[in-house]
Homo-oligomer: A and B are copies of this chain.
Amino acid sequence: MARTSGSSSQKTGPLVRAAALRLFAQHGFAAVSMRQIAAEVGVQAGALYRYTPDKQSLLFELMQFHMEELLATWEEVDAGAAPLARLDSFVRFHILHHLDRADAVFISYMELRNLTPENFAQIEAMRAEYEQVLENILVACGGEGLGDPKLTTLAVLAMLTGVNTWYREGGRLDRETVVQSYVAMVRRVVGV
């Protein structure tokens, strides 16, 4: 990493990530230049390069942060209770966590194509780790609808993340109604 003055870097880092997230989500990774990101932060392009070596690193950092936060927050939320209570808790957690991070979720799915193979492999490993969390819960629930556990896991995750594509704050259904409906649907999918 390039040398940075500690206090300036600490302030700039979160601002750079927030600006990059906003611009990538709005225009797509390939259409955004480092110069645009610098302008959005309100610094010169040179100052940006002191913080991050290139746009690829910035994209990877955003996706890595998203996955690390997802895994760490679930660790905190997970009460390690009985399997069925953990399943309900996971459904609630996944929906609300993703609704609160629409741009990061959008980028994490859409810009996988723009990661270098090495960076892609790292993000994929973290995604697999998260999928394994749900798969373990589904297996522990042992419902008669479990079927192929990996396939069922991916089907449930797609269903839950799909809420981000249509849910609007202040719309017909509030968050709690949505969460409870999905808790019931997921229970039925796996037959518990």
Question: Does A2 have its Cβ within 8 Å of any Cβ on chain B?
Answer: no
A166: chain B residues within 8 A (beta carbon) = 154
Majority secondary structure of chain A interface residues (helix, strand, loop or mixed) = helix
Distance in angstroms from A162 CB to nearest chain B CB is: 2
Bound together, the chains give a CA A159 to CA B28 distance in angstroms of 25
Knowing A154-B162, A158-B162 are in contact, say whether A147-B31 is a contact too (CB < 8 A): no
This chain's copy number in the assembly? 2
Given the interface pairs A162-B154, A185-B155, the reply to whether A173 lies near B148 with Cβ below 8 Å is: yes
Query: Which of A9-17, A82-90, A176-184 binds B?
Result: A176-184
Question: When chains A and B are docked, how far (Å) is the Cα of A158 from the Cα of B31?
Answer: 28
A interface, CB within 8 angstroms of B: 26-31, 109-110, 113, 145, 147-148, 150-152, 154-159, 161-163, 165-166, 172-173, 177-178, 181-182, 184-185, 188-189, 191
Not counting A26-B113, A109-B165, A185-B189, a sample of 11 additional A-B residue pairs whose C-beta atoms are within 8 angstroms of each other reads A28-B28, A30-B31, A145-B185, A148-B173, A154-B165, A154-B166, A155-B185, A156-B159, A158-B162, A159-B162, A161-B162
